[in-house]
């Protein structure tokens, strides 16, 4: 089968596994540019479309190419600014930017701001302990009213929701106060447009555009570290806006004081408002995110079901960040829809083996055994020994269950570590606890407490 034919079939697969609107919005704007060395290339009208497709449909596309006989392991997107976005594809983005007046500005083909992701709203943001403060501050800013903290500086490690909150603020303000000029861009984009303005001798226009903004959001400001003239220009923009009591919202991958090669005056400017970090996720937040993303996936694949326990398993095992968690779920749904199966535990472990391995915490079976015996106040030797009375057997099964779900050990391996028991005994124990966790709240609480203690 020729490559182009393979792409035709991939498109058919994709068409069949997502809504017409999604297909039109995203897939129809990809221009297939060929496959080479396992990399399939597409031209896209904007980097945002490429990023979005990669994040949301990348796995599905790779999987479908392979299924259709074309070996592919990666996608590559080249931005071809001459290409107009597919008119219907541009809708969600246009809708979000339509209300801005001069801020998206002048050059229609290359606006100063970046498009907003209409999915990144407060409604779609799951709040938990690790991000509640950042969420509350973001909401306060988005609700308008007097500017109380300026700038708002949000920071966190990768994939924990900074960009989502920035988009949510901008989306919300555009909805509540359509008359305001809201500009969202990344620090890189700022630098690129600044350099272009210098080269094209359009600095006056550039400055004027920036100073006419009512709300400025700049993502990933750490990229300005070491870029002295960009910092200088940004510093002036920033001061002009703050002096005019216009809201500025910034994000970075670390606290302002820790950004390398940032001028002192810039640093202190960044720190003079409210600085808040989003903490790494905890189990509840991860589970909440998964539940909310499942609902979104089920809009695309209304017929797919997720077996009980799968989300809890993922929340427990994938601890890196929300982006990885989201990617895992997208992959699971894509895979399940293409092979026509529901999402159960076996399929999950099979389909996400690489992600699960990468996320393996280094909890050992021995550590689990020790914690569980302490927790139930029994001797380790009784837990591992042959006695079958419930006061030993139940903790033993709990420890087996935790060993299965928190480590990558196989059932036979776990059996060996539990007094040379057979793997079927372990399997029985694991199933027993899985069932009890659904009906017995005491066991569910015990599991939660133990997991927490082991994760520390
Ligand atoms: N609390 C949350 N609720 C729902 N979705 C979330 C949450 N946190 C993050 N996400 C999703 O996870 C993905 C990564 O989040 P985002 O891009 O905002 O992270 P980031 O902190 O900006 O990462 P980076 O440092 O890489 O830019 C996005 O798709 C976002 O929608």
Domain count along the chain? 4
Residue 22 marked as a ligand binder: no
262 and 352 part of one domain: no
Which of 88, 115, 143 delimits the end of a domain?
88
Question: What are the CA-CA distances from residue 52 to residues 77, 85, 258, 276 (Å)?
Answer: 11, 14, 30, 27
Range of the domain at 405: 365-455
421 and 273 part of one domain: no
80 and 143 part of one domain: no
252 and 328 part of one domain: no
Please work out whether the CB of residue 253 comes within 6 Å of at least one atom of ligand 1.
yes
Distance (angstroms) between ligand 1 centre and the Cα of 161 equals 3
ipTM over 0.85: yes
Task: Name residues whose C-beta falls within 8 Å of residue 223's C-beta, 6 or more positions apart in sequence.
Answer: 186, 187, 188, 191
Residue 99 marked as a ligand binder: no
124 and 273 part of one domain: yes
Please work out whether the CB of residue 289 comes within 6 Å of at least one atom of ligand 1.
yes
Mean pLDDT value of segment 67-81: 85
Please work out whether the CB of residue 54 comes within 6 Å of at least one atom of ligand 1.
no
Ligand 1 atom nearest 220 alpha carbon = 27
183 and 323 part of one domain: no
Which of 46, 72, 88 delimits the end of a domain?
88
For ligand 1, atom 25, name the residue with the nearest CA: 158
221 and 170 part of one domain: yes
What pLDDT sits at residue 87? 36
Ligand 1 atom nearest 124 alpha carbon = 4
Closest CA to 361 of 422, 308, 298, 403: 403
Instruction: Give the ranges where 18-114 is alpha helix by DSSP (H).
Output: 20-25, 47-67, 91-97
Between 8-17, 28-37, 384-393, 413-422, the lowest mean confidence (pLDDT) is in: 8-17
- The CATH number for 400's domain is 1.10.1750.10
How open is the CA angle 26-27-32, to the nearest 5 degrees? 130
Residue 260 marked as a ligand binder: no
Distance (angstroms) between ligand 1 centre and the Cα of 321 equals 8
Mean pLDDT value of segment 275-292: 93
Q: For the chain, give the mean pLDDT.
A: 86
What pLDDT sits at residue 102? 35
What would the pLDDT profile of 153-179 be if each residue is shown by its tens digit? Answer: 999 988 899 999 999 999 999 999 999
Residue 94 marked as a ligand binder: no
What pLDDT sits at residue 90? 32
What are residue 275's DSSP bridge partners?
153
Among 53, 139, 163, which residue has the most ligand 1 atoms within 8 Å of its CB, making it the best to mutate? 163
395 and 434 part of one domain: yes
Reply yes or no on whether the pLDDT at 95 is more than 60. no
82 and 100 part of one domain: no
Ligand 1 atom nearest 164 alpha carbon = 18
Q: Residues of the chain with pLDDT > 70: what percent?
A: 91
Distance (angstroms) between ligand 1 centre and the Cα of 97 equals 21
């Amino acid at each position: 089968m020729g490559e182009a034919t393979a792409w035709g079939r991939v498109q058919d697969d994709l068409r069949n596994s997502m809504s017409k609107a999604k297909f039109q919005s995203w897939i129809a704007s990809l221009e297939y540019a060929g496959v080479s060395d396992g990399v399939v290339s597409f031209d896209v009208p904007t980097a945002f479309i490429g990023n979005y497709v990669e994040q949301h449909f990348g796995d599905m596309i790779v999987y479908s190419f392979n299924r259709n006989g074309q070996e592919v392991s990666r996608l590559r997107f080249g931005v071809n600014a001459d290409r107009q976005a597919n008119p219907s594809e541009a809708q969600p983005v246009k809708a979000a930017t339509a209300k801005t007046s001069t801020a998206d500005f002048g050059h229609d083909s290359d606006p100063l701001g970046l498009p907003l992701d209409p999915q990144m709203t407060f409604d779609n943001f799951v709040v938990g302990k690790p991000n509640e403060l950042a969420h509350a501050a973001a909401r306060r800013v988005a609700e308008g009213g007097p500017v109380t903290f300026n700038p708002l500086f949000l920071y966190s490690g990768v994939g924990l929701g900074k960009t989502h909150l920035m988009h949510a603020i901008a989306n919300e303000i555009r909805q509540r106060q359509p008359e305001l000029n809201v500009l969202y861009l990344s620090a890189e984009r700022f630098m690129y447009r600044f350099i272009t303005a210098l080269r094209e001798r359009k600095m006056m226009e550039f400055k004027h555009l920036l100073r006419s903004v009512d709300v400025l959001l700049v993502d990933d400001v750490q990229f300005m570290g070491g870029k002295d003239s960009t910092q200088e220009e940004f510093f002036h923009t920033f001061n002009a806006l703050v002096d005019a009591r216009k809201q500025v919202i910034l994000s970075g991958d670390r606290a302002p004081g820790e950004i390398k090669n940032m001028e002192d005056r810039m640093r202190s400017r960044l720190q003079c408002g409210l600085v808040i970090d989003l903490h790494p996720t905890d189990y509840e937040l991860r589970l909440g995110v998964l539940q909310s993303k499942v609902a979104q996936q089920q809009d695309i694949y209304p017929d797919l079901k997720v077996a009980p326990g799968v989300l809890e398993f993922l929340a427990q095992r994938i601890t890196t960040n929300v982006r990885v968690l989201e990617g895992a779920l997208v992959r699971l749904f894509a895979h399940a829809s293409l092979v026509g199966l529901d999402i159960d535990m076996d399929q999950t472990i099979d389909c996400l083996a690489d992600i699960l391995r990468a996320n393996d915490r280094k909890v050992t079976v021995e550590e689990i055994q020790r914690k569980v015996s302490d927790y139930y106040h029994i001797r380790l030797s009784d837990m591992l020994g042959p006695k079958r009375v419930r006061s030993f057997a139940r903790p033993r099964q709990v420890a087996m269950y935790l060993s299965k779900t928190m480590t990558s050990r196989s059932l036979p391996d776990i059996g060996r570590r539990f007094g040379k028991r057979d793997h079927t005994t372990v399997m029985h124990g694991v199933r027993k606890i899985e069932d009890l966790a659904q009906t017995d709240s005491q066991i569910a609480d015990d599991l939660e407490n133990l997991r927490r203690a082991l994760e520390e």
